[in-house]
Amino acid sequence: MSAPLPPKSELDPDPAPHELEDHLDELVAQFSDLLAAGKAPRKQAFLERVPAAARPGLERCLKMIEAGLASAPTATHLLAPGVTLGRYKLVREIGRGGMALVWLAQDTELRRVVALKVLRPGLALESTHVDRFKREALAIAKLKHAGIVQIHDVGSDRGFHYLAMEYIEGPSLARVLEALGPAAARRFSAEELAHAAGIAALAARERTLEQALAALLQPVAEALASAHEQGVVHRDVKPSNILLRKDGTAVVVDFGLAKSDGDPALSITGDTLGTPYYMSPEQAWLAGVAVDHRTDIYSLGVCFYEALTGVRPFEGGNVLEVFEKIRSALPPSASALEPRLSRDGAALLRKAMARESERRYADARALAQDFAALVAALPTAARVAEGGALRRGWSSFRAYSSGLPYEYRSHRTFLGWPLVHVINGPRARGISKRVARGWFACSPDVAIGGLAMGTRAYGLVTCGGLSCGLVFSWGGVALGLLSAFGGLAAALFSFGGLAMGYLCTGGCALGYGAMGGVAVGKYAMGGKAYGTYVISETRKDLTQAQFFEAVLGTDVPWLRVLDRPDDRQP
């Protein structure tokens, strides 16, 4: 009697249809059928049935079939429920990626449910794709760990290449993170993770979302460590390749890009391998940079970062833009995006996602130990290694002055604002402005806070191109309640090229007491001075009211208070 099939659920729905890929597979099969029947199909007629962007790849496949260099499945054997490949009967499609389709299938001999991964027929025409597909079977076959999906069988049938693997009933971490929603809407509790995953066991373990996620990813790090010890590097660690069993334990899947130390011919040669958002900086260079086990450490750190903050560290309008950011930028501070993140969690992320691979964890087992420390609310080795406040400050200063995009937000807050929020470096494409908010705020664009420095600065004490301070301000345009220093300064006490205030000094100074190249006030001193009491090389016998009437072309009644005849100089 066959093993019962698992039911469909919200956590394992049929994937959205990929109509173009299915259409391409069908065209390849139809072309192969016509050739087998002794007919001469016109390639152009087939190419006209697909979008222009898909034509080069389809044309290459058709030429290979026509030349007898490859064979394709027939149109009558395209994948569908009920089709049998080897001893496996297809039930329903449960996932798909760029290279393969994953079907829930019934093993008719051993009478068990398996996940059958089938290489796309179009890709199977080229040996490089088949080699990469088989490499996954070889990589998994040599690994024995509870956190790594187990492979049962490998084979091919009627042009289809397949792997039969352990079926994991639970959702992927990617599906769980999607269900969690944005970080701002979270309570940051383990119960949220359990609800999003549909696995109650995840809530019973820890108190916070950070601890629950650390407990979830700890066995993933241990599984990667086991693979690395066998000389296998995954190179495509991402949330969709981390599946959850019904008991809440995580399993690593999809070793299709894995590279074995004993197989140097399979190193990167220019192909884009891996998912861009989770690539390490050395992977993002695509060629010429050594890639070792520490690339998996970086990618797992990105998974933890996204799970905690709700966003990926680097985004872009296209793949090349994402690559450029990974290579040249520092990720935004996780603490700035999620203030509830602990110091130990932030230190773990900084070490796992260090740009230079030698500054990351030496191995994945060390990362697993720090995940365990987070779970137990103990200091992480990453935070201990960072040292005290002075050492951390020096490291932050080095990052700040590196010339790369940098952001720091202190963990401590006062009245809801961080004590320090600093942003530096070039602005990423697509970002109109960066705003730093804190008691000490510094940004190349906009800074708001107690002491604020930026192109535009607003706060108590400010410095910037446009500076508005309640007490003091310095800038090209400085506006302050008490004092202002700038090209254009306006305050009770102001100093600038053009200064306006009760007491002002500047190239052109307007105020009750004024000193400058041109000074206008009750008391005026300057190269040209206009006022009641004047010290000037060039004296003009004009009252302030007369001066402003001449300049503005109108009467200024309020200035006549300063024009009492008995107060003027003889």
pLDDT, one tens digit per residue, over 8-33 is: 443 343 333 356 666 776 777 777 76
pLDDT, one tens digit per residue, over 133-174 is: 777 777 778 888 999 998 888 888 887 888 898 999 889 999
Two tokens, residue 555 = 């009467």
- Number of Cβ atoms within 10 Å of the Cβ of 168: 20
Q: What's the confidence (pLDDT) of residue 87?
A: 93
**More confident site: 569 or 387:** 387
Query: What pTM, to 2 d.p., does this model score?
Result: 0.69
Amino acid identity for residue 343 in this structure: R
What residue ranges do the domains of the chain occupy?
A: 19-165, 173-386, 413-567
Its CATH architecture, for the domain 19-165, is: 2-Layer Sandwich (3.30)
Q: What is the CATH number of domain 173-386?
A: 1.10.510.10
Q: What's the confidence (pLDDT) of residue 547?
A: 57
Find out whether 556 and 547 touch, Cβ atoms under 8 Å. Answer: no
Residue 261's pLDDT band, with cuts at 50, 70 and 90, is very low
Rounded Cα distance between 348 and 298, Å, is 11
Rounded Cα distance between 80 and 89, Å, is 10
Q: What's the confidence (pLDDT) of residue 94?
A: 86
pLDDT, one tens digit per residue, over 332-391 is: 888 888 889 999 999 999 999 998 899 999 999 999 999 999 999 999 999 998 877 677
> Range with the lowest mean pLDDT among 135-149, 227-241, 261-275, 477-491?
261-275
* Residue written as token pair 């660690």: 237
Q: What's the confidence (pLDDT) of residue 252?
A: 93
% of the chain surpassing 90 pLDDT:
24
pLDDT, one tens digit per residue, over 69-109 is: 555 555 445 788 998 999 999 999 887 766 778 899 999 99
The stretches of 67-185 forming alpha helices (DSSP H) are 127-141, 173-180
Q: What's the confidence (pLDDT) of residue 350?
A: 92
Two tokens, residue 237 = 């660690």
Report the DSSP pairing between strands 435-480 and 483-490.
parallel
- Number of Cβ atoms within 10 Å of the Cβ of 540: 14
pLDDT, one tens digit per residue, over 456-490 is: 888 888 888 888 888 888 778 888 888 888 888 88
Is 203's pLDDT higher than 90?
no
Just list the catalytic residues: 236
Q: What's the confidence (pLDDT) of residue 108?
A: 93
pLDDT, one tens digit per residue, over 428-448 is: 665 668 888 889 998 888 889
> What is 310-355 written as a DSSP string?
SS-S---SSHHHHHHHHHH-PPPPHHHH-TTS-HHHHHHHHHHT-S
Q: What's the confidence (pLDDT) of residue 379?
A: 93
Rounded Cα distance between 130 and 380, Å, is 43
Find out whether 173 and 250 touch, Cβ atoms under 8 Å. Answer: yes
Q: What's the confidence (pLDDT) of residue 147?
A: 92
The stretches of 338-442 forming alpha helices (DSSP H) are 343-352, 364-375, 381-386, 389-400
Is 317's pLDDT higher than 50?
yes
Please tell me the total number of residues recorded for the chain in this structure.
570
Q: What's the confidence (pLDDT) of residue 435?
A: 85
Find out whether 189 and 209 touch, Cβ atoms under 8 Å. Answer: yes
